[in-house]
């Protein structure tokens, strides 16, 4: 991803440099202003349409895997979460595998970010923790292990220390 960004930047810089070179090379020539305007405006319309199409396509593609409110079926239990400088108050820190939890997230002082990470380190749910609001994020726990809540928004000196663990244990066998 970093390499792709680097190449896009390099190619973009080359295109800009070529445009400058072309302008400098043609600076001695004269041409009627209305002809130049007509040609340029045609390009402006094309660029507008191309940018619009690219914007819609890129937005659609990148929003699909967004771990914001993953569809997780029927909610089996609610867990309340309150963020404050600099800890999480979690009403229950143990869940069973298979449970779909609705996290109701708020904050006591300033804005925080609730980010839920699976035992392998991938983010599986996230929502803003805001004073005066209760935001909901759902997640179905599919694997046993220790999940971790991290603060996703810089909130002061010990922002990095604002973590909490939720332990998912295997569901009790039905007899
Ligand atoms: Cu709370 Cu960063």
Residues 15-42: tens digit of each pLDDT = 999 999 999 998 888 888 888 888 888 8
pLDDT band, residue 69 (cuts 50/70/90): low
Whose CA is closest to 172, among 100, 97, 101? Answer: 97
Please give the number of the atom of ligand 1 that sits closest to the Cα of 159.
2
Grade residue 9 by pLDDT with cuts at 50, 70 and 90: very high
User: If pLDDT is split at 50, 70 and 90, which confidence band does 78 have?
Assistant: very high
Give the ligand 1 atom nearest the CA of 156. 2
Question: From atom 1 of ligand 1, which residue's Cα is the shortest distance away?
Answer: 112
The pLDDT > 70 percentage for the chain reads 92
d(C-alpha 88, C-alpha 149), whole Å: 8
Q: Which residues line ligand 1 (CB under 6 A)?
A: 83, 112, 151, 153-155, 159, 162
pLDDT at 18 (0 to 100)? 96
- pLDDT at position 26, please? 86
82 Cα: distance to centroid of ligand 1 (angstroms):
11
Q: What is the arithmetic mean of pLDDT over 117-136?
A: 94
Q: Which atom of ligand 1 is nearest the CA belonging to 112?
A: 1
CA of 137 to the centre of ligand 1 (A): 17
At 53 the pLDDT is 97
Ligand 1 nearest atom to the CA of residue 160, by list position: 2
What is the DSSP-derived secondary structure letter of residue 69? S
pLDDT in tens, 89-103: 999 999 999 899 999
Q: What is the pLDDT of residue 174?
A: 57
Where does the pLDDT of residue 173 fall: very low under 50, low under 70, confident under 90, or very high at 90 and above? low
């Amino acid at each position: 991803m970093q390499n792709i960004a680097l190449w896009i930047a390099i190619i973009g810089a080359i295109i800009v440099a070529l445009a400058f070179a072309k302008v400098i090379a043609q600076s001695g020539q004269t041409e009627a202003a209305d002809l130049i305007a007509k040609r340029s405006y045609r390009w402006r319309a094309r660029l507008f349409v191309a940018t619009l199409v690219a914007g819609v396509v890129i937005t659609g593609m990148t929003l699909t895997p967004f771990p914001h409110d993953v569809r997780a079926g029927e909610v089996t239990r609610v867990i309340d979460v309150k963020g404050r400088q600099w800890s999480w108050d979690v009403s229950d820190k143990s869940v069973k595998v298979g449970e779909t939890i609705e996290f109701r997230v708020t904050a006591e002082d300033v804005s925080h970010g609730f980010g839920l990470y699976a035992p392998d380190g991938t983010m599986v749910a996230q929502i803003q923790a805001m004073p005066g609001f209760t935001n909901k994020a759902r997640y179905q726990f599919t694997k046993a292990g220790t999940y971790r809540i991290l603060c996703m928004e810089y909130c002061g000196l010990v922002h990095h220390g604002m973590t909490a663990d939720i332990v998912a244990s295997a569901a009790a066998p039905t007899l």
